[in-house]
Copies of this chain bind each other. A is one copy, B any other.
Amino acid sequence: MLETLDFLEIAQSYRAIFLDSYGVVKNHRGLIPGGSETIKALREAGKTIRILTNDASRSPEQQAARFEKQGLTGLAPAEIITSGMMAKLFLEQKVKGGKVAYLGTENAAHYILAANLNSIAVSKIDLADCSDITAMVFLDDEGFDWNRDINTTVNLLRKRNIPAIVANSDKLYPVAKNDVSIATGGIAKLVESILNRKFIHFGKPDTQMFNYAFEDINTQGNFTREDILMVGDTLHTDILGGNKFGVRTVLVLSGNTRAENADIQIRSTGIIPDYVCDSIVG
């Protein structure tokens, strides 16, 4: 299996291409070289495109603007589906009034505001007067002081019996060829472990985002699962989610999964992509 295949050749057989963002279209240095051309080629071939990303740090609009700035033009916000959007739908449906506390940048708080709720950064919380806080959301690993604000979060959740929501369950993300950084899900896990409690998690491998994208593209076209190809760099999120949703999956080796480990990881986890490519370029 681990002879890798040409991505564009595989993509020919599908009408819609779902792509993870980080590790697939971009990495810590920006767009992957040639990525822009691949997306353009997919467009020209008439493929419907959606980005499915476990990223709750920015709105689809901001993510689209960032792609644009990095050189990938023409990706519409409506083509970007984030785990933050799933969390937003949940907040909208289940949290009534009050203030929603969050860890993350101000940008990330977008998802709370979009749910028509008031937001408050954890750094702004007065633990002596927090009875109006109605939910806690883990949105990003940046934008706050870890020591001070993770501790405040622990104390908030000891005082207030409220839902805690993890808008991105990833534990790690790559920040350089060989280095990683603890992601939102890792921070949430620390708090869960300290409190001995399980929070509500969003993002791949849950099939919710796939379903959202599937229904979305079906408002315009008439797609079945056979028409769809999911492309990702992480077995236990992108590929497992795609496999569970019942679409074909491509593992690319340009991110979390290294070429030298791919075979053993695939066999030992049983998370088996339909195809393996070096990247969306190769």
Contact = CB atoms under 8 A, between A and B. Distances in A.
A232 to B, nearest CB: 16
Contacts of A267: 161-162
Interface stretch (A18-26, A39-47, A181-189): A181-189
A243 B193 contact: no
A163 B272 contact: yes
Interface in A158-194: 158-159, 161-165, 171-172, 178-182, 186, 189-190, 193-194
A146 interface: yes
A143 B94 CA distance: 40
B246 A89 contact: yes
Interface in A116-152: 127, 135, 141-142, 145-147, 150-151
Interface in A81-135: 86, 89-90, 93-94, 127, 135
B200 A151 contact: no
A70 interface: no
A155 interface: yes
Interface string A266-279: 01111110000000
Nearest to A155: B179
B178 A159 contact: yes
A44 to B, nearest CB: 30
A211 interface: yes
How big is the A interface, by class? Answer: 35 or more
Most B-side CB within 10 Å, residue of A141, A142, A162, A200: A200
A240 interface: yes
A229 to B, nearest CB: 14
A273 B275 CA distance: 41
A200 B270 contact: yes
Contact of A270 (B145, B164, B180, B245): B164
A257 interface: no
Nearest to A179: B155
A270 B146 contact: no
Interface string A237-258: 0001001111000000000000
B151 A182 contact: yes
Interface of A: 86, 89-90, 93-94, 127, 135, 141-142, 145-147, 150-151, 154-155, 158-159, 161-165, 171-172, 178-182, 186, 189-190, 193-194, 196-200, 202, 206-208, 211, 236, 240, 243-246, 264, 267-272
22 contacts: A127-B179, A145-B147, A146-B147, A151-B180, A151-B182, A154-B182, A155-B178, A158-B178, A161-B268, A162-B270, A163-B269, A165-B270, A186-B190, A186-B193, A193-B193, A196-B196, A200-B270, A200-B271, A206-B206, A207-B207, A207-B211, A211-B245
